[in-house]
Chain A
Amino acid sequence: MSRPAPRHRPLPILVVLGAAAALVFVLPFLGLLVRAPWSALPALLTDDVAADALWLSLVTSLAATIAAAVLGLPLAWLLARADFPGRGLLRGLVLVPLVLPPVVGGTALLFALGRRGVVGGPLEDATGIVLPFSTVGVVIAATFVSMPFLVITVEAALRNLDGRHEGAAETLGGSPWTVLRRVTLPMIRPSLVAGLALTWARALGEFGATITFAGNLQGRTQTLPLAVFVALEQDRDAAIAMSLVMIAVALAVIVALRRRWWQEL
């Protein structure tokens, strides 16, 4: 691909500020990498607390991704395709968890689904199920903060989809379910994959809503970010080791999705 020739030398002030911005991104990681206890990493990550947190994070983030897919896909479809009153409002609400401080989200979840919450109280009375401070609570908190990534990515893809292919599938006798499964979803597959990856990464990194709604119990609700936070007070090397895991995951997601964002390179 050809690029236009630069018409101006970049202004020095832009170079300085731009470089400073790059440092804002790079320096923290450098700091972490310099302090990383590389040789002790295996031992640090298989330590009881870290191993529990790793496993719990993996399970709950995957569960949250599945929940976001099962619930978020239909919501994205409705927002993109259905015409109903309040659709604009609903689309706005979906974005709220993206901009809301997660602690506030966790607080809201607590007041809704907590033992004395609007839904949580009757739920416990009826079924005995207690959501807050449970592993399910971790999944709910992660789903709350991460599902918007799936919904907005998939909704945009559905809007940009040339619906005529779905029409062609209908004329071939495809039922609505067949058309969705064999035409619509495969056609938006790149966006779907990107949405799922972002959702998973966000779920894996969730801290505020989790600690507020689900607490910090090792093996039950203490996910990697929570374990890092606790370890900072007691065992810095363990905190760094667990941080490196999450940085690796973040880099892996970005590399996996590079074609989506770095097309111009």
Chain B
Amino acid sequence: MSAHGLEAHIVVRRDGWELDVTLEAPAGLTTALLGPNGAGKSTIIGAIAGLTMLDRGYVRLGSRVLADADADVHLPAAARNVGVVFQDGLLFEHLSVHENVAFGPRSRGAAKGAAARQADDWLARLSIDHLRQRSVADLSGGEAQRVALARAMATGPELLLLDEPLGAIDVSGRAVLRRVIGDHLERFEGPRVLVTHDPTEAFLLADLVHVVEDGRVVQVGTPGELRLRPQTPYVADLVGINLLVGEAAGGVVDVRGHPVRVADVAASGPVLLTIHPHAIALYGERPTGSPRNTWETTVDRVEDLGDRVRVLLDAPLRLAAEVTPGSVETLDLRPGTPVWPAVKATEIRVTPDAGT
């Protein structure tokens, strides 16, 4: 199967609200749609999958037209060959785990035995063969999402859509499931589109991020580009969060050799640290007083966002800090200026990571 990219211009109007986005999701890459709840992300998924009618625009997968409002083309969902993992799984509760996964192959005309083997194969690939005969109602959130992923993959889709796949999963299960999803996304040849409101998820899983706000795409870029150059204050808030990966032990996290003190003394092993740019204060010389993380570095870049200024710091921790235009003047912040950043341990959020 040669894989094709997704190109879409999606316009959906509903009660005075309008979604109007243009998307490109190349094959072999994961494209995230990142935005707050209510931004229209799920409507985009529905329009691509064929569950929501376009008012204007088109959805194309390579040379295949899935929908074209101008030409009045609206391929039914069943004919699109698009795999969808829905937010809350949407598993069929009257069927067993195995029957859920075999549903797609059966619906696409596979004989009973062949469909059963395909389902077994996918249950094994997601390491959930032991759940085979289980009732869907008895599954944990993480198990249900694995079944949902197996169910979507078992149809052999050309395009994979994931709508908040980690949304209903508790924090402890999230890291593991994120790893599982990441692995399967990487092996999937076609375009994969991930909807999420969580920047961490988008950064860890996606190659490209479309930031969606109030029915519009406000910025497109790689996670690195978005983090370094958020183009609107909204994007800065949403994606400008600093994300570090390290090893925790006894309240200290080792981030590539640099120790970071955190409030969570119980955390151990691989962790993700998130620090809001607001939480990083900048000083001209070593700050004294309350115990906090502080180190010496230089300013890499300064970006004006209007009422606030984003200051990107150099090694050892390439963090973004947000300060007022006033302090830029006081500290004379320019590329190369030496500064002492400081972060309170309590301002650093620690979440377990599954490790690499």
Contacts and interface: CB of A to CB of B under 8 A. Distances in A.
Interface residues of B, number: 25
Given A187-B94, A189-B94, A171 B103 contact: no
A169 interface: yes
A125 B104 CA distance: 52
A46 interface: no
Interface string A199-237: 000000000000000000000000000000000000000
Contacts of B155: 172-173
Contacts, number: 62
Interface string A144-176: 000000000000000000001101111111110
A164 B108 CA distance: 19
Contacts of A172: 78, 103-104, 107-108, 151-152, 155
Contact of A171 (B82, B94, B95): B82
A33 B219 CA distance: 79
A170 B90 contact: no
Nearest to B101: A172
Given A164-B86, A174-B78, A182-B103, A169 B51 contact: no
A186 interface: yes
A130 interface: no
B66 to A, nearest CB: 12
B86 A170 contact: no
A186 B77 CA distance: 21
Contacts of B80: 171
Interface residues of A, number: 17
Q: Is the interface of A mostly helix, strand, loop or mixed?
A: helix
Interface in A114-156: none
Nearest to B154: A172
Nearest to B94: A186
B92 A165 contact: yes
Interface string B82-97: 1110100010111100
Nearest to A174: B107
B50 A170 contact: yes
B49 interface: yes
Interface string A180-198: 0011001101000000000
Interface string A32-54: 00000000000000000000000
Ranked nearest first, the 4 interchain pairs of A and B with the lowest CB-CB distance are: A170-B77, A172-B104, A173-B107, A173-B108
